[in-house]
Amino acid sequence: MERFSKEGRTLVCFDFDETYFPHACTPEQLEGVRRLEQFLEQHAHRFSTMWVTGSSFESLAEKTSRASMRYFPHRIASSLGTELYHVNDKGGLELDTVFQQMFPSDFVERVNRTIEVLRRLGIELEPQTSIGRNPWMYNYYYHGDDMTTLQLIRSLVEEAGIAANVSRCNPLAGDPDGSYDIDFIPHGAGKTAAVDYVCEHFSFRSEEAYAFGDSGNDLEMLKRVGNGYVLGNGTEQAKKGHHRVTEKSYAAGILEVLTREVE
């Protein structure tokens, strides 16, 4: 896969699943990915790119291979923004260990205590076994849509001193219908935290940055930058929660916005 030796000064962040990467991988969708890759290569002097995703690094490797992608971004914030990788001078990816040093050392114990409290209250969360193991991210499904229960989960997470992404599942990405993702992560981690860290440490202006997503767990990131967009294929939750929605879907929706930037 090709990587840029030099990066532009406008940060562009992409959620991966059902944003940059279409799970159906239809010929039309993959042709859109090719056009997007070509565009980003042509405008490397303008844009510094970053995948910001809930997928693990291992899962990204499988998906990029499935779609025959040939382009890697300058940075990858994987596993829901708990791991941050940068392209080094040799074209390889290096883990940013300084970023993870900000996370609390007793994170796992705090998660386990929260899960036990929920169990005693009769609230069972199903572990997500397909995501992989990461000491800074614990993923569950809540099968239901009771808002009181979801608010209780948020309150217990806050009391435990950790953070959680609570968002409606997207069946197009392989999630169960009628359920919610409950993703426990440390304070200081997450999609928005990763974007903030990159802006602060690498001198990007967040008010000039772009971000694209498709689901509820992207909304905070989209609101943090100056140019955040929900794609046309986004979930109803995401579309209702953000004021900028593209007309087109997937890569075509991304290009709809970025081509206006370079004209």
Cβ atoms of 234 and 172 within 8 Å: the answer is no
Measure the CA–CA gap between 225 and 211, rounded to whole angstroms.
Answer: 7
Q: pTM, whole model, 2 decimals?
A: 0.86
Tokens for 179, please give them.
Answer: 């359920």
pLDDT of residue 6: 54
pLDDT of residue 263: 79
pLDDT of residue 172: 79
Could you give the angle at the alpha carbon of 178 between the alpha carbons of 174 and 183, nearest 5°? Answer: 65
Measure the CA–CA gap between 254 and 46, rounded to whole angstroms.
Answer: 15
pLDDT tens digits, one per residue of 197-211: 999 999 999 999 999
User: What amino acid positions are annotated as catalytic residues?
Assistant: 15
Residues 6+ positions from 170 with CB-CB distance below 8 Å: 17, 18, 214, 215, 235
The strand pair at 83-87 and 75-78 is best described as antiparallel
Cβ atoms of 211 and 52 within 8 Å: the answer is yes
Neighbouring C-beta atoms of residue 248, cutoff 10 Å:
15
Tokens for 16, please give them.
Answer: 């991966």
Q: Which residues of the chain have pLDDT under 50?
A: 1-5
pLDDT tens digits, one per residue of 16-28: 999 999 999 999 9
